[in-house]
Structure 1
Amino acid sequence: MESVASRIETAVARLGPEFLEFLAESVRCQSVTGHEEPVTEFYERELRALGWEVRSLPLAGSALCADEPRVGQRANVVAYRSGAGDGLTVLNGHVDVVPPGDPSEWRESPFSGHVRDGRLYGRGSVDMKGGIAAAVLALAALEDCGAEPLRDIRLELVIGEEKTGVGTRLMVEAESEAPSAVIVMEPSGGHIVPLSAGLQFFTVEVSGMAAHTSAPWRGVDAFEKLLAARDRLRRLAAARSDSYSHELFEDVPTGIPFAIGKIAAGDYPASIPAFATMSGRMGLRPGEDPEGLRAAISAALESLAEDDDWFRDHPAAVKWGNAGLRGWETPREHELVQSLVRAQEHVVGAATIAAFTAGSDAAFYGGRGIPTAIFGPGDVALAHAPDESIAVADVFTAAKVLAIALAGAA
């Protein structure tokens, strides 16, 4: 008799061409953050056509909508599937994408959904419509071959991840039943990710005193002061990295990276800058309270006055770009992780476990102590880049692993 796992693999292969077009069409639905409705309408329509219970969860009316754009046009799409036993597994994926940038840097239209040499191209193919397609294909394959998931399934297709995470925060606020386990389909390269660092975004502002550049000694260069502030934060980050290690982060210099992504100073080439600002991020250890990191950053900036009299009367100011995404870890012996491990071993012969240094919506579940894992197809290094693309075979492989894990068939 054919095993359940073999029946699932056969179903994925049979349904694959249909869901390749599903993925291509979702990529063609331009859904830059804040303008997600083309793809949410597509997903809602397609999931209803599969006969699933589907609802739209609007952003309007939530306390979370205060600083969000176009509130009345934006909504999550939520689908439900019954399982064989008690408990609830959440499959979470974000529908929004970052802007494509300069179209001339792409070989073809950024939203083409075109398949070439076994890869599907377009903004969002990796991050993360490929993962969503894998999850929907996995659930469709279970239904097609008569297999049931072990638990009820809630498929959350959420808005706003690329900026504020408002879609998943809305799910946490709106749904009364806490999940037993969560799988977030971010592109993990097919690795099973039970560990993720968190992060704190920040902006630092410093002031100087303007002067003509022919006599710079008459002014105070705010850019130089900003570099001093950056160095102080860099030293803080280095000390934090030295004090934290984890075997899953052994292949990277640090599991809690610090980086400055944006910097600006002055407003005229012939003037010494009177102001300067930088924005960046500092990593949080799994389980670390963001408030403690914010206090450490503030203290590091206050310490500038110990070495520079200017900062005594003109202290650096810091603003927080988010409330802090918590880091999290699910024990590798937990059944969520082990079900993915067994399924991956069955499908590809070996399981690979890794860790994330990037923030994601997984923090809103894992940071609350809910067993969480990240698993999805695609190379995250290709996300947000020109010619973003995903290997079609990787989408199908991820669908097999997800379906077998959800059914407990390995």
Structure 2
Amino acid sequence: MDWNSLLADCVSFAQRLIRMPSMSGEEMALAALVAAELRDLGYDEVWADPAGNIYGRVYGRDRSLPALVLNTHLDHVDPGDPALWPAPPFAAEIRDGRLIGRGAVDIKGPLAVQVYSAAALLRAGERPQRDVVFCGVVQEEIGGAGALYWVEHLDYPVELVVLGEPSGNILALGHRGIVEFWLTFHGRSGHASAPERAVNPNYALAAFLTRLEAAQGQLRAHPVLGPTSVAPTIIQVDTTSGNVTPAWTRVLLDFRTAAESVNSLCAFIDRLAGDAPHALAYADGLTPSPLTSSDDVLCGFYTPPDSPLVARAATAIGRGMGRAAELGHYHFATDGRHFAPYGLTVVGYAPGEWYAAHTAGESIALDEMGESLRGHVQLLREF
């Protein structure tokens, strides 16, 4: 197999992907580009669904086996201020062995690797061990509507889902779950010139945040996926007038956990909020799966390292890369959290440093893409 030529074509495809912006909800043109590439590369089936997801299937040597699914998403976050970038965010420039651009690492570099891994076998006159389905979904960055549509309408057996989220070419076995709550403190509005006639909820919020900072260490930890964390992010009040004491103020609390449940987190918040009038509500788009109860631990997904599927995948990937496949986990949430409640086994494997995602100057190393291609191709051959 001509690995240099394969990588060059894969990188060229990644550049074309980056040059086509695809913010969440605006993925249609990119989906068409991916579909055209899948057809040109000889995938046996290419189709779309009503959600806007795009799929390609390569038939395996034994079509009676459950499929191997290569899952990634089509959308990316806003590039922000172009002046902060070393190169224009959609120019897809290559400098010092790295491809620069919004989506380079999250997710278009890994997407290109997934697409070209099956194409590599077809070029060599080979077939994967089992059917391989590429699954490019929409709106991952804003909650995962595309992933939910796929898993809720899945009509074929799946042996393993491989996420194309950047993992630095380690085999990622899970990540913490994510849930966001709006915590609202209620007061009584009034003219700011007479604060004694109002009840200012900002004081209750300030007291809560002080207690929250001190109490985070009380939250439980998962032995592999790490401690529970909480970040207060957005703060809002009911007024935009500077001379009005607000009637309410609220804060968005972003929890990441593989050891707490909705009920235990709500109890934690209520305890810290104290007697101040308050209310809790889920934030839109980042709620637990309807298949889980309020007492279930909010793990995103977790595949134990002693799973036979992990052993098989690690062996094949390691043989392809020419080094042992390292096991680890993701630090961020992925669409894998939507698949696990449906009983699917999920791992992550893709090139790129996860901490480069969502940053100005986002980039991915070309040699890491090449290593990941070799690992993916061997996985498809053997798994």
Q: TM-score, normalised by structure 1?
A: 0.83
Among 356, 362, 374, the alignment partner of 1:388 is 362
Letter matched to residue 282 of structure 2? K
Q: Figure out how many residues of one structure are paired with residues of the other and give that number.
A: 368
Q: What's the counterpart of residue 281 of structure 2?
A: 318
2:74 equivalent to 1:129 = no
Question: Matched residues, percent identical?
Answer: 28
State the alpha-carbon separation in 2 of the partners of residues 106 and 14 from structure 1. 29
Q: Is the CA contact (8 Å cut-off) linking 2:7 and 2:369 kept in structure 1?
A: no
Tell me by how many angstroms 1:48 deviates.
0.9
Q: What's the counterpart of residue 367 of structure 1?
A: 341
Q: What's the counterpart of residue 195 of structure 1?
A: 174
Among 11, 14, 19, the alignment partner of 1:23 is 14
2:6 equivalent to 1:38 = no
- Cα distance change of structure 1 residues 11 and 174 upon mapping to structure 2, 3 Å threshold: farther
SS at match of 1:228: helix
Q: Is the CA contact (8 Å cut-off) linking 1:257 and 1:357 kept in structure 2?
A: no
Among 363, 380, 383, the alignment partner of 1:406 is 380
Q: Is the CA contact (8 Å cut-off) linking 1:160 and 1:167 kept in structure 2?
A: yes
Tell me which moved more, 184-193 or 268-277: 268-277
SS at match of 2:134: strand
2:247 equivalent to 1:274 = yes
Tell me by how many angstroms 1:348 deviates.
4.2
Tell me which moved more, 271-280 or 43-52: 271-280
State the alpha-carbon separation in 1 of the partners of residues 13 and 120 from structure 2. 14
Tell me by how many angstroms 1:146 deviates.
3.0
Mapping of residues 1-400 of structure 1, within 5 Å: 10-52=1-43, 53-59=45-51, 75-85=52-62, 86-213=65-192, 216-230=195-209, 237-241=216-220, 244-246=221-223, 248-249=224-225, 254-265=226-237, 267-285=240-258, 293-303=261-271, 307-308=274-275, 311=276, 314-321=277-284, 322-324=286-288, 326-346=299-319, 347-400=321-374
Q: Is the CA contact (8 Å cut-off) linking 2:222 and 2:258 kept in structure 1?
A: no
Tell me by how many angstroms 1:275 deviates.
2.1
Tell me by how many angstroms 1:298 deviates.
3.4
Q: Is the CA contact (8 Å cut-off) linking 1:267 and 1:273 kept in structure 2?
A: no
SS at match of 2:359: coil
After superposition, the CA RMSD in angstroms is: 2.3
SS at match of 2:79: coil
Q: Which runs of 5+ in 1 are unaligned?
A: 1-9, 60-74
State the alpha-carbon separation in 2 of the partners of residues 364 and 408 from structure 1. 27
Tell me by how many angstroms 1:299 deviates.
3.2
Q: Which runs of 5+ in 2 are unaligned?
A: 290-298
Structure 1 residues 80-106: Cα deviation after superposition (integer angstroms, max 9, x where no partner): 111123121111000101111122222
Q: TM-score, normalised by structure 2?
A: 0.88
SS at match of 1:378: coil
State the alpha-carbon separation in 1 of the partners of residues 113 and 16 from structure 2. 14
